[in-house]
Amino acid sequence: MADNKTKMTTASVGDYLSSVAPDRRKADALVLDEVFQKATGWQPRMWGESIVGYGSYHYVYDSGREGEFLATGFAPRKAKMVVYIMPGYADFSDILSRLGPHKLGKSCLYLGALNRVDLDILGELIQAGLEDLQRRWPITAT
């Protein structure tokens, strides 16, 4: 079986965040780093070249495929901020209804400008996602 392409690295999160462009996306990325650190209590680690992750978990599927992946995190993309908070198992519609403008992917959330998002609700969503994930796979702090 193929390994995950996205793995934890030793790259500097600070260096990565300072290189994010444009400046408004960099500012939002720095804010998200604070929100994630506050919500998780964990230090960020780079996953691949462009994902900032907090915590990790080891999974083993019924198919036998297994691997390690970030427990939660984000990736500042040009068009939107991609937030990895939902393992895809639970319905977080109540929390999402209070968040502000967003779009959903299978296990990620797409956010535009953070000034339109309730950051306290985002913190609540991060914690709810971690609690849901922890019910299935043990999470390791970073």
What is the reported pLDDT for 61? Answer: 82
What is the reported pLDDT for 34? Answer: 98
Q: What is the mean pLDDT of residues 94-104?
A: 95
The average confidence (pLDDT) of the chain is 92
What pLDDT, in 10s, does the model give residues 35-73? 999 999 999 999 999 999 999 999 888 888 888 999 999
What is the reported pLDDT for 2? Answer: 57
- Give the tokens for residue 3: 């390994």
- Among 53-57, 78-82, 98-102, which is the least confidently predicted range? 78-82
The pLDDT confidence band at residue 87, using thresholds 50, 70 and 90, is: low
Query: Residue 48, by phi and psi: left (phi above 0), alpha (psi -120 to 50) or beta?
Result: left
> Quick one: what percent of the chain has pLDDT higher than 90?
73
Query: Residue 88, by phi and psi: left (phi above 0), alpha (psi -120 to 50) or beta?
Result: left
- Give the tokens for residue 113: 């400008």
d(CA 92, CA 35): 18
What are the structural domains of the chain? Answer: 13-133 (3.90.1150.200)
- Give the tokens for residue 72: 């939660």
Amino acid at 58: H
Q: Is pLDDT larger for residue 115 or for residue 2?
A: 115
User: Do β-strands 109-111 and 81-84 pair in parallel, antiparallel, or remain unpaired?
Assistant: antiparallel
pTM: predicted TM-score of the whole model, two decimal places: 0.92
Q: SS3 breakdown of the chain: % helix, strand, coil, rounded to 5?
A: 35, 25, 40
DSSP structural state of residue 1: -
> Whose CA is closest to 142, among 37, 17, 22?
37
> Quick one: what percent of the chain has pLDDT higher than 70?
95
